[in-house]
Amino acid sequence: MRVVVTGAGGYIGAHVVDEALSKGHEVIAIDMDLKNISDKAIKKNLDLFATHENLFQSLGEPDVLIHLAWRDGFIHNSEQHMKNLSAHIEFVRNYVKSGGKNVAVMGSMHEVGYHEGAVDENTPTSPQSQYGIAKNAMRESLILASKELDFNLYWLRAYYIFGDDEYGSSIFSKLTRAAKNGDETFPFTTGKNLYDFIHVKDLAKMIVAASTQNEVTGVINVATGQAKSLAEQVEWYIQSNDWSIKLLYGVFPDRPYDSPGIWADATKIKDIMENYD
């Protein structure tokens, strides 16, 4: 298939490009910085927020658009989220109006807000951060647009991502930098919250698998479906890297908008992955 990936130079995007190439797809990688992208991909610098005429044709009439681009994804209350929301929606609408039929968009567990237990496509949402509010609004807008404009929408809802941590902004990235700096301790929360953790390479496989099939559409959780405490995952991460750094529990308070336990209902993605070989 011919696959367009926006945000291709980002933390998740680079892995999605590699995964799609490994499956034999032709990949058009879009970002402002593409220096870390494989030369096997077709690279395009494109301002997503500009006005685009005949966008589908100018991108080579791809089979699917995987829209990962998003500013300040790890800064949950950044002003950029709401500021750029309409531009993201307009970009997708322009792509579809000019002929695109399949659109996959990166979602987030932060759309859901405060929730205890498993999340499926019917779980009510009440986001508690600017990031969550913007993603939730984009999902609702594009669901309506998919009916209005008759295209397949794959809303890929991710949970807690780790891996390739020297380049990310998660707690695992901060811990990696601290350990490599020789720090003996690392200030931490209580670590009691339960999350659905996934390695970024496994996430990339799920994103490509979900985006290149046509049996399952709508909200698709790209996650393991398993709950693990943050403390357990971080302690495992330290041990697996053979670091001596110690966690200082309780230095930072738990964020009030974080759920005590939230994980995915992975039924859809497990069915998709069974046929992904």
Q: Which helix (H) or strand (E) holds 270?
A: helix 267-274
What is the location of CATH 3.40.50.720 in the chain? 2-161+197-226+264-274
Average confidence (pLDDT) per 10 residues, the chain, 277 residues: 96 96 98 91 92 92 98 92 97 97 97 95 96 98 98 97 81 93 95 96 98 97 97 96 96 85 97 91
Interatomic CA distance for residues 176 and 171, integer angstroms: 8
CB atoms within 10 A of CB 240: 8
Look at the pTM and tell me if it is higher than 0.85: yes
The DSSP bridge pattern shows strands 26-30 and 2-6 to be: parallel
Superfamily of domain 2-161+197-226+264-274: NAD(P)-binding Rossmann-like Domain (3.40.50.720)
For 243-273, give one letter per residue: b (16+ CB within 10 A) or e: bebebeeeeeeeeeebbebbbbbbebbeebb
Residues annotated as catalytic (active site), given as ranges:
131
